[in-house]
Amino acid sequence: MKIWLLLIAAGLLICQTVQGNKTFSFEGYRLYRADPFTKEAAAVLRSLHDAYPSEPEPGLGLTFFNYPSHRNVKVDILVPPRLVSAFRKAVAGRPDIQLELLHRNYGRVAAQADRENRQFPRLMKRLRRAVRRSDQLILNHNQYLRYDQLLEAVNTLAQQCNLLRSNTCRQQEIGSAYEGRKLIVLRIEKSQTDKQKRKVWIDGGIHAREWISPATVLYMADVLISKGLNRRMWTPEVVALLDYYDFLMLPLYNPDGYEYSHSHYRFWRKNRQTNGGHPSQSRVCRGVDLNRNYGYKWGGSGSSSDPCQDNYRGTGPFSAMESAAVKRFVEQENSDKKILLFLSYHSYGQYVLMPFGFKRGAYPRPALSAGKMSCVAFFGSREMFSTNHRFYIHGTSADVLYEASGGSDDWAHGSLEVPYSLTVELPDDGAYGFLLPPAYIRNVGSEAVRGLLAMLRTIHDLETNTNFYRTRCLAHTAASDY
């Protein structure tokens, strides 16, 4: 072990930097997928993750696209050119780790993705001149928008919504990010005087590099407005949703990090607040993982006290301005216990995850609560599969993916007692990963909408039909095991 640590340390002496407004190039970087078969193999990957973060300079270490938790959970790792030999010696020689090379030069993949994001809108504009769309929504949904563009898109949705039905949509600034960018919630409330209506919270973009997430939440908002209020496009089930529920939608939770991932470093994950350095080193690192900064079981497994790690949990619960703003807003909205469903969209991997994520084998109590949530996750994932035949795994994040303390879904259910709290990891399963082309936005968005409809349909049945859980849920899920 000492040998490969020295080899990696030697490679780390040569690093690259991001200067000014120049976007970091991943030329020559390789993307590997490691599949650990034993606990010891998973521990080796965790030691690499902890010892060599990619901060404070992007070329300084290894970039893990997902956390190495336990055996049989595959991990995608981006390796700089100078570390390829040392990394392979550390990992490839082990019989209990299967190593697959996904991309030999990830810089070319990233550059191609950037070109597609700039060129695809022009292509779609030409196509629309020739083909009249029957499902024309308010927005185009053909590009990953920058922060200013996204705010403009939310404003457009609100304006068009109120033209279709007055006083139905409004924008609410709930706080700001560390660098001053606004956190804007789009409220869709068909009847603002009906105090009995339940609420649905939906957020996206809590992790900066997950561009498909805010794009999907924006698409979902467009569908709710266009197909729920526009008589020419009415879909009965969407109309019914707006009759039953009020929607609180935060498309972009982490605007600072998101903008930085566009302008500087594509795979940035955290927010952009300043931190101190690592206690034992002279490194100064930035950012808090906002999905490790929530107060329920904060500071446990799957989070780090090292400010240079991608999963840095912050100095305390809600120490980040963004998570603190969301906390204040959601607590106020739930003061009368009206939030029925808390949904957070991430990428990538294709999972529908329920609490609890802080520890394996931890489930909501009573068992019926866990069973109901598992049932909602099951029917939601099944409906999303039927849309594009992409398979989603459902379960607790700790059981099927990795332990992650301080998460928003754990907090919503564990602290606020929101009955149904889920995290959806959007496509794909790794072929594109975070670089999913913009051509997929509508495809993934329609999948997410179908999943949302199925989840709320299932919740409605569970809340109104006492036999539904016994006759439908137990027949299709393993909920009775919780």
Single-letter amino acid code for the residue at 34 = A
State the catalytic residue, choosing from 100, 425, 447, 463: 425
3-state secondary structure of 14: coil
The C-alpha angle with vertex 390 and arms to 386 and 393, in degrees rounded to 5, equals: 100
Instruction: Give me the long-range contacts of 476-482 (CB less than 8 A, separation at least 24).
Output: 476/375, 476/378, 476/379, 477/371, 477/374, 477/375, 477/378, 478/374, 479/370, 479/371, 479/372, 479/374, 479/375, 479/378, 480/367, 480/371, 482/363, 482/364, 482/367, 482/370, 482/371, 482/374
Give the span between the Cα atoms of 318 and 247, in whole angstroms.
24
Burial, 389: exposed, middle or buried (Cβ in 10 Å; 0-12, 13-18, 19+)? exposed
What tokens appear for 448 in the block? Answer: 């997410």
User: Is 425 tagged catalytic?
Assistant: yes
Non-local (6+) Cβ contacts of 462 within 8 A are 372, 375, 376, 468, 469, 473
CA–CA distance, 282 with 440 (Å, rounded to integer): 42
Question: What pairing do the DSSP bridges indicate for beta strands 245-250 and 198-204?
Answer: parallel
User: What does the alpha-carbon distance between residue 186 and residue 218 come to, in Å, rounded to a whole number?
Assistant: 10
Residues catalogued as catalytic: 425
